[in-house]
Amino acid sequence: MSQDMIGVNVQLIGHQYRFACPSDERDELLEAARNLDERMQEMRDQGGKSLSLEAMAVMAALNLSHDLLKQQRQAMASQAAVQRQVRDLLQKLDAFLSEAAPTAL
């Protein structure tokens, strides 16, 4: 089943762009565009006025990619810690249950 595609206008550092996206992803696209625009404006305000729009976009994309990778690594580390805790709890529960089980006569 194909999704309905719509055109969405976004503004990045004063430039208008039109993208096609599935209608149910419109809000996410606009949010992503606002996030990217904020990043690019921060770069421009921190001395990147001489950078081309393309260079700012590439730098912002690299920064966002770095942030994403860092969050993925943190999520994997958290998941591993939770799995270790669950395994330890299950071992303690097994030990407790084996001690508490009635013995057959």
Cα–Cα distance, 105 to 97 (Å, whole number): 18
pTM for this predicted structure:
0.70
CB 17 within 8 A of CB 53: no
Burial of 77 (0-12, 13-18, 19+ CB in 10 A): exposed
Q: Where are the domains of the chain?
A: 5-100
Tens-place pLDDT, residues 14-72: 999 999 999 999 999 999 999 999 999 998 898 878 888 889 989 999 999 999 999 99
**Superfamily of domain 5-100 in the CATH hierarchy:** Cell division protein ZapA protomer, N-terminal domain (3.30.160.880)
